[in-house]
Amino acid sequence: MNPEPSLPSGQQVGIITVSDRASAGEYEDLGGPVLREECRSRGWEVIAEAVVPDEIDRIQQAIQSFCTQGCTLILTTGGTGIALRDVTPEAIRGLMRVEIPGFGELMRRRSVELTPNAILSRGLAAIVGQTLVIALPGKPQGALDCLRFVSGAIDHTVKIARRQPTSC
């Protein structure tokens, strides 16, 4: 049995913070830096970052730009709730080839053990082009927890998305 080929140096990551206030400079972006540090601790290279308002077109532009820049994984933080301006899932669904329901299901199932309001989260994962996009909560600890909950499936998912050989 041949071992699975791996990506040269881990994931090439883009991080998008979705926040009206942070994008306007009224609020410090806290989620992006937490995710950046977590990615670096995993040996993943953060190659692109953006802070955008809660607007479908701006979120989609950032995702498409990061895909073009070679990101194998894009993490968004924010815009996954049920408030009027929470549109991150809709933005991703407008670009995706396929949604991966298990990511969102696991993030909610594990998060609700920590806070009952996690049931309101609309976090998800999808393939856009050949890139795995994961929509994480806006609260820094929630984003970190959810990334950790699904991290075991990320490398394999990226290999499939990029049409690389796997053991499956």
Which pLDDT tens digit goes with each residue over 70-98?
999 999 999 999 999 999 999 999 999 99
Instruction: Give pLDDT tens digits for 156-168.
Output: 999 999 998 777 6
- What pLDDT is recorded for position 166? 73
Q: Say whether pLDDT at 47 is over 90.
A: yes
Residue 6 lies inside a defined structural domain of this protein: no
Q: What is the mean pLDDT of residues 120-149?
A: 98
Total number of domains in the chain: 1
**154: CATH:** 3.40.980.10
Query: Does 1 score more than 90 pLDDT?
Result: no
Q: How far apart are CA 41 and CA 61, in angstroms?
A: 28
Alpha-carbon distance of 61 to 125, in angstroms, equals 17
Asked if residues 80 and 137 have their Cβ atoms less than 8 Å apart, the reply is yes
Q: Is residue 138 part of a domain?
A: yes
Amino acid 165: pLDDT: 77
- Answer yes or no: is 1 within a domain: no
Domain holding 137, by residue range, is: 12-161
